[in-house]
Structure 1
Amino acid sequence: MTPVLVALGGAAGSILRYLTDRRVQAWRDSPFPFGTLTVNIVGSFILGFSSGWLLHGAEPSSVRSLVAMGFCGGLTTFSTFGYETVRLFLEKTRLYAVLNVLVTVVAGLTSGALGLLLATAVFA
C-alpha cells in the first residue's frame, strides 16, 4: 500500500508544481524563478506541518507516505532549483543566481520551521 500512497501523493504534487510554476511565472514575467521558489517554500511549510503532526500523534506510515514523501516530494524540486541557479549564472544574471540560492534556502528553512511550530500549536 505504501508505494500506492507515494505515487498518488507524488502525482498530485507534480501536477500542482507544474500548474503553480506556470501561473506564477506568467504573473511575474521575470528571469528569476519565482515559480520554483513558490513551490519550494509552500512544500517546506507543508512538510514542516506534517512533521509536526507526525510528532504529535498522526498515523506515521500513511501520512509520511502520502504527504511527506509523495506530495511534498512531487511538489518541491531541488533539481529544478539547481538547474535554474546554474542557468541564471550562465546567462550572466549572477545577482539573480545568488539571490535564488539565498532566498530559497532561508525562506525554505523558515517556512518549514513555521509549519512545524503551527502543527505543534494545533496538535500538542
Structure 2
Amino acid sequence: MKIIELAFLALGGVAGTFLRYKMISVPTYLGALQANVLMVNVLGSFILGAFAVISQQWNLDGKYALLIAFGFCGSLTTMSAVAFDTHGLLNNAKYGMMVLNAVLNLGLSVAAIFGGKALFNIIFGNSPA
C-alpha cells in the first residue's frame, strides 16, 4: 500500500469515527430500542450505496474508495455495536426488542444501500441498478 493510499484510508477512518462518536454520544430511543447504532448503520449504508454509483459515474480513482467506502463508512458503521446491543437485550430478556433490533439494523442498512444507489442513479440519469 502506498503512503497516499494509507493517508486516504486513515483520513476517512478518522472522519467516520468522529461522526460515529458524535451520533452515538447522544442517546436516542425508539421505545426501548436504542437507535443510535441503527442510525449510524443506516446512514453509512446509504452513503456507501450512493458512493458506489458516484464512483462508477465519475470513474473515480481507487483511493477514493479507500477514503469513503473503507475508511469513512467502515469506521462509521459497526456490526460489533449491533451485536453488543442485541446481546444486552437478550440478557435483559427483551426477546421481541432483541429480534427487532437485529432485523431493523440489517434490513434498514440493506434498504439504505438500495436507497443510496437508487437516488444517485436518478441524479445521474442512469437506470436504477
Which SS does the other structure have where 1:113 is aligned?
helix
How far apart are the structure 2 equivalents of 1:85 and 1:71?
A: 24
1:8 aligned residue (7, 11, 20): 11
Displacement after TM superposition at 1:60 (Å) = 3.3
Displacement after TM superposition at 1:56 (Å) = 1.5
Conserved 8 A contact 1:39-1:75: yes
How far apart are the structure 1 equivalents of 2:76 and 2:87?
A: 21
With normalisation by structure 1, the TM-score equals 0.90
More displaced, 77-86 or 57-66? Answer: 57-66
Mark the runs of 5 or more structure 1 residues left unpaired by the alignment. none
Which SS does the other structure have where 2:101 is aligned?
helix
Aligned partner of 1:63 in structure 2 is: 64
CA distance 1:88–1:9, change in 2 (3 Å):
same
CA distance 1:98–1:107, change in 2 (3 Å):
same
With normalisation by structure 2, the TM-score equals 0.87
Mark the runs of 5 or more structure 2 residues left unpaired by the alignment. none
How far apart are the structure 1 equivalents of 2:64 and 2:78?
A: 20
Which SS does the other structure have where 1:92 is aligned?
coil
Identical positions, percent? 30
May I ask how many residue pairs the two structures share in their alignment?
122
Higher helix proportion:
1
After TM superposition, which residue ranges in structure 1, 4 or more long, deviate above 4 angstroms? Answer: none
CA distance 1:122–1:62, change in 2 (3 Å):
farther
Which SS does the other structure have where 1:120 is aligned?
helix
How far apart are the structure 2 equivalents of 1:31 and 1:12?
A: 29
Q: Residues 45-60 of structure 1: matches in 2 within 5 Å?
A: 45-60=46-61
- The residue identity in structure 2 corresponding to 1:111 is A
- The residue identity in structure 2 corresponding to 1:122 is I
- The residue identity in structure 2 corresponding to 1:53 is I
Conserved 8 A contact 1:50-1:63: no
Q: Aligned-pair RMSD on alpha carbons?
A: 1.5
Q: Residues 58-97 of structure 1: matches in 2 within 5 Å?
A: 58-97=59-98
